[in-house]
Chain A
């Protein structure tokens, strides 16, 4: 990645999530979970762009150790609010925001591109499952993808990794990356990186991959982050049609 994100100073302890009281409810995620990686030394500061009120207002409660600095219904609102919000580590953005195309406010991959041009680290948080759409966002510079069906723990992990400069692929996009690699289109992957990728594509958790390959969990995660960056590079130079052709799929197969 060539984009250098704004390097924020220690963010102020503000935002709804800092109260922390409700996040542990139901054990959905949170700091008490031993298997989740400990967040970095500082709390990541997040901006949320989503047309869903529940997501905008609920995320701060679901992610008690994340500071939600601002919430916006669309990119225009985000751009208006962000100068006053303080340093943001990660912009969490939904892909399909209702009724925006008509108003000329970019969404989807165009929104991702604009966020990247402005220097933000962008994490897609979406219900979108069509692989080509997701791959397109990676090509535009998104740092990661998390589906809304995934656990809040997975979301929290992803925010932490992206805030630390890493990349996060959703399981389905990991599968796509594995397929592309298996047909020899990611030649810069090392054998180790390929092994980690294959494991992830099969849903294997980092802990087990690390045990199997006699490496630390952190090393496995770093391998995967590198793989994701290389895959994003591949996507920037290959059209959706290239992708389908190289995988031997029918046109439109990746849009299902």
Chain B
């Protein structure tokens, strides 16, 4: 499994980031979007994107209303200057956050808070008092509303979120304080101030929940990994336990010939079990070649030739069982009846997930017209394969070996 927290959740953004920083000539490369991983790192990244998305929308709105704002501003030069400062600050924030992939560093939060407060107070210098409520000629309020969203993300403690929001709200009240009081503007000021707190607290609650969810997901994955490792260790322990005594016996001097013979038999069977264990690990991947290797592993005495280089296709679990069992049955038959010199297993994946397998021996063969097929061939091979859409063709004659071809068309 991949390390969970160490990797940048959206590593494909790195080339973009590098281009931004090093100003390389851009080469167009299509980006393939894939879902953000449901890990703690993924959750942090989503929060960053949400935060920057909010700021992006603000900037677009500010840009659209810019001509109007400049028109209405008593000091258009200052208006332009501070708007540029806002854009630069947003760009620096975006680079910092995308680079880190997370927004949980209090220092960055404080920087953002200070610039938010500063810009809010600065709006007093270039806006008309009458424009300071719900008017994009003064972008101070909508933009710093986004800053409070950031406060809800960057600070983990409620008190800090509250404190940072209070600072912004305070600066906002100061910036609107010079407005000639009217009941309308007061109610506007109060509503907007409560929006700061509302946004910050709701976002803090959501971000907190998202982070807990992601941490739990990471924990669950680690636990599953750990359990799988433990199960694997148990399997290995069971396997090695018996083999240890066989090896010890085999290593001792002056062994009685009878025991030596027994040890040999045990060693051979142990080797088969170890082989099957090793091959099984491949079988989980469900590719056709692994099915044949698994089946062949138990028949080392036949030294079957495995020509499975082009059996690369994945096979669904139901077919894996049927194929493995069919090939195993056929090899049992070879062992029991054929007295063959060479057994060849050939498998090849075909178009659209199909496959073709042949098991052939050069042994005794049998008369197909006089001798009915046994239970193994009839049930364990033909019927089982038919159940998963496979076909079987047997050809044999006395003295000419036996050839069994099994196949299944693709995309059925």
Contacts and interface: CB of A to CB of B under 8 A. Distances in A.
Which of A154, A171, A203 gathers most chain B CB within 10 Å? A203
Instruction: Pick from B306, B346, B400 the residue with the most CB of A within 10 Å.
Output: B346
Interface string A188-208: 000000000000011111001
A2 interface: no
Interface string B359-403: 011100000000000000000000000000000000000001101
Interface stretch (B2-10, B100-108, B307-315): B307-315
B358 interface: yes
A247 interface: yes
Nearest to A198: B346
Contact of B360 (A178, A179, A203): A203
For chain A, which range describes its interface: under 10, 10 to 19, 20 to 34, or 35 or more residues? 20 to 34
Given A204-B403, A247-B310, A149 B303 contact: yes
A93 B232 CA distance: 43
Given A179-B309, A182-B310, A171 B344 contact: yes
Contacts of B361: 203
A248 interface: yes
B310 to A, nearest CB: 5
Nearest to A203: B344
B133 to A, nearest CB: 67
Given A172-B305, A247-B309, A202 B358 contact: yes
Nearest to B308: A175
A249 interface: yes
B341 A154 contact: yes
A208 B307 CA distance: 19
A150 B306 contact: no
A69 interface: no
Interface residues of B, number: 21
Given A150-B342, A171-B344, A203 B309 contact: no
Interface in B306-348: 306-310, 312, 341-344, 346, 348
A151 B346 CA distance: 20
28 contacts: A149-B303, A150-B342, A151-B342, A153-B341, A171-B307, A172-B306, A175-B308, A175-B309, A176-B307, A179-B307, A179-B309, A179-B310, A182-B310, A183-B310, A201-B307, A201-B346, A202-B344, A202-B346, A202-B360, A203-B305, A203-B342, A203-B344, A203-B346, A203-B361, A203-B362, A205-B400, A247-B309, A249-B309
Given A171-B344, A203-B305, A203-B346, 15 more contacts: A147-B303, A151-B342, A170-B305, A171-B305, A172-B306, A174-B307, A175-B307, A176-B307, A179-B309, A182-B348, A201-B344, A201-B346, A202-B307, A203-B342, A203-B344
Interface of B: 303, 305-310, 312, 341-344, 346, 348, 358, 360-362, 400-401, 403
